[in-house]
Structure 1
Amino acid sequence: MKKPLFIVHKHRATHLHYDLRLEIGGVLASWAVPKGPSLDPGIKRLAIQVEDHDLAYADFEGVIEEGGYGAGPVLVWDRGWFEPSPRHGETGSAAEMLHEGVLDVRFHGRRLNGRFSLVRMKGRQGQWLLIKQEDDAARPGSDITVEQQQSVLTNRSIEELAEEAAAGTLATLAVGSRLNE
């Protein structure tokens, strides 16, 4: 059985941010996380729900040209698969949990592992909180976005992508492969 993907794109458009994408219902449900994910359970990160993306976008790494929506360099900061992780006694698919406004998942990625929750904020259209849950993968006091900055696909930095694009030497990567470990 195919395991659903999760991707985190590091994206420098107007401002540097991270895009969390979860494969739900045949698309990548997506949230912009301005400060990036955290492994510290004491830190809640704002996650703004944005438009769904096609699955083909999962492994996009390159530069969105000027004039295009979200223009700027994009790299694959993390990737892996996830499983819905309903709370005690609850059942449900990721799609059902998303609809209800509390999506509990277990990530199996190269950088993000363990249990996380996405919780829709009441009265705030499209605004959610991304929260790392207490488990063996939690790292209080750490900042994974500072510790790990390169692409998990090419080991390039966002600055290197931008420099290669400016020099006309960027070979845009669109692997299109699936992770089914």
Structure 2
Amino acid sequence: MLLQLRPTPGPLASALSFLTRRSGRAGVADLCAHSGRAEEREETFRRVSDLARAHGLHIAPSVALGAVFSVRDGRRSAVSQAARSALFQERVDMLLLDRGARPVLAIDHCPPDATGRGAPGRNRVKSRLFDRAGLPIVTLQGLAKWDRDRGRIELRLADAETAERQER
């Protein structure tokens, strides 16, 4: 059976509507604290936020892949249900959205010393998912390589802006 992975139709906001709001205001540190090196992740988030703002984009932290993609196989088989469940368990660290809340670029933060078992395999799977759906993803290498990472983000954003102009 072939499962087709497609970007979720419509704005991401509607795909995320099932989420509940936290009481109180979450800070950037709270959003980045799901893994080690919260300070580095917080600074990276700030830098990416500045880039997003400069391009007129919004940033959504820690987004489940199930909010970005949908599995369509025409049936409600156990395999497709497992695929849907897996999509909601995996996340990208940041998702840049256009004014219509459509995904433009996914960003994962993976410092060079990330040694979690299975981390390289998960990153490859994420890259393939995004590639097959035609949505770019960039894996950041940490603040020590920010200039290079920023250049890669800028390049992907320029590609997205060019593609959007051509569609008009």
Using structure 2 for the length normalisation, give the TM-score.
0.25
The structure carrying a bigger strand percent of its residues is: 1
Decide which structure has greater helix share: 2
Q: TM-score with structure 1 length normalisation?
A: 0.24
